[in-house]
Structure 1
Amino acid sequence: MTRSYWVFGYGSLIWKPPPHAVEKRSGYVKGVVRRFAQSSIDHRGTPEAPGRVVTVIEAKEWHALAGSNPDPTDEDFVWGVAYRIDPVKEDEVRAYLEHREKNGYTSHDVHVYSMDENEREVIAVEDATIWIGKLDNPAFVGYEYPDHLAATIVQRHGPSGPNKLAESVRELYPHVRDDYLFDLEVGDA
């Protein structure tokens, strides 16, 4: 029996699912942080005016880069949506996503967690593919001052259209505090 192919979306895949998704589950991935730390010349910018796209970064790497405690904390998790892909279309979707995430991302398999009806943590998806921006990839820009970053996100555009991440996270997960994301949204107003 072959394993189901699940994809975890933490950015635009939240509001724009991958093709041929036949099931979705809300949940979160542990040990990572969501940051606009990737330069984008193909989705949210151009080669002449690179924009920024969101990535997840291993929390210990981000904290070390930011000069803080590199040990993961209880706040090092990212909410998103896991999608199960139609098995007949798995190869096609894998190829599409590998091409889509070519600018500095690497794929990893992770557990996706959720809360049951008694507010206990459970594994919602055993193995889902997630794309993580590693610090040594050429598109990684690292930390930027929030005001500068917010302006870049608002001013730079590419073929993928405007970024709806804060709005989507707030709508899907009203109970989630994502200070980093929501502070950027305030900064771009």
Structure 2
Amino acid sequence: MNSEPGISYLDDQIEDNDTKCLWIFAYGSLCWHPGFQYNKSVRGHISGFSRKFWQGNITHRGTYENPGRVATLVEDPEGCVHGIAFAISEETAIPYLNERECQLGGYVTKFAKFHSDHGQYIQVLLYIATQSNPQWLGEAELTDIASQIVECKGQNGHNVEYVIRLADFTRQHFPQYEDSHLFNLEREVLKTLKAKDISVETLMGTGEGCIKFIRKDSRSSSPSRQEQPARFESFQHAAKLPEKTLRCLNL
């Protein structure tokens, strides 16, 4: 992992010796807040799933009395989900993830094929919620999900922050990928906040522990404007976009 605090360089290539590592696929908060040490991080996608805010959360982004909503993967033959694959580099990573994702989050593990942006593939470990776990909330109208998210916060911060950071991360690192569920939910959340006269910035937290990812070829120079994390004000543009049906591009 890069030694610069809060900075991580995304690698373009998966080397032969990398295939011997255990890889974790991040599609939610692990994208910007992995919380564990890793040898390498690579952009790409998995197929056969869609990302949905159907999992409840009573610790990180909600409470028992007022559970929040976080992302999970739902099997979808036509779907694909873009995210980051991390090569694990320490023994403590799996116990940490099992506590964070399984014991507290209600997720189970599953293996899937990860396709890097450069056409390589590896097996990755997924943390995925199922309908049998007690925190499962399931499908609902986006307006209802947005209203619930606006009202929830947990020990890791406000539920709105989770949605906003995930949408921005996806937009920044996968500009060719349109996640209709995520981006339409972001619009509804922003619309709900506006109706309640609540500022997005007041819900975003300090960003402590968050990592800024930069393409590895930018190591010797300053990140370009496209590579810089968008300011929170930029999310307001999403609320102004016209409603339309979006599709996932299987690259």
TM-score bucket (shorter structure): 0.7 to 0.9
Identify which of 123, 129, 145 aligns with 1:133. Answer: 129
Q: Given the superposition, is the C-alpha separation of residues 3 and 115 from structure 1 closer, same or farther in structure 2, using an over 3 Å criterion?
A: closer
* Equivalence for 1:143: 139
User: What's the CA shift for 1:168?
Assistant: 1.0
How many matched pairs?
A: 166
User: What's the CA shift for 1:36?
Assistant: 0.5
Q: What are the superposed Cα offsets for residues 128-163 of structure 1, whole Å, 9 maximum, x if unpaired?
A: 111111122221111011001012122201122221
Q: Given the superposition, is the C-alpha separation of residues 18 and 112 from structure 1 closer, same or farther in structure 2, using an over 3 Å criterion?
A: farther
Match of 2:149, SS? Answer: helix
8 Å contact from structure 1 (residues 38, 133) kept in 2: yes
Deviates more, 1:159-168 or 1:23-32: 159-168
Identify which of 113, 120, 124 aligns with 1:123. Answer: 120
Alignment of 1:1-189 (within 5 A): 3-59=20-76, 72-73=77-78, 76-86=79-89, 89=90, 91-102=91-102, 103-116=105-118, 122-124=119-121, 126-161=122-157, 162-163=161-162, 164-189=165-190
Inter-partner Cα distance in structure 2 for 1:24 and 1:172 = 13
Q: CA RMSD in A?
A: 1.6
Gap runs ≥5 in structure 1: 60-71, 117-121
TM-score by length of 1: 0.83
Match of 2:154, SS? Answer: coil
Q: Which runs of 4+ in 1 moved over 4 A?
A: none
Inter-partner Cα distance in structure 2 for 1:22 and 1:159 = 28
Which residue identity is paired with 1:27? G
Which residue identity is paired with 1:77? C
Inter-partner Cα distance in structure 2 for 1:95 and 1:51 = 24
State the percentage of identical aligned residues: 34
Higher relative contact order (CA 8 A, sep 6+): 1
Which residue identity is paired with 1:154? V
8 Å contact from structure 1 (residues 111, 123) kept in 2: no
TM-score by length of 2: 0.63
User: What's the CA shift for 1:104?
Assistant: 2.1
> Highest CA radius of gyration, 1 or 2?
2
Which residue identity is paired with 1:34? R
Gap runs ≥5 in structure 2: 1-16, 191-251
User: What's the CA shift for 1:173?
Assistant: 0.8
Which residue identity is paired with 1:99? E
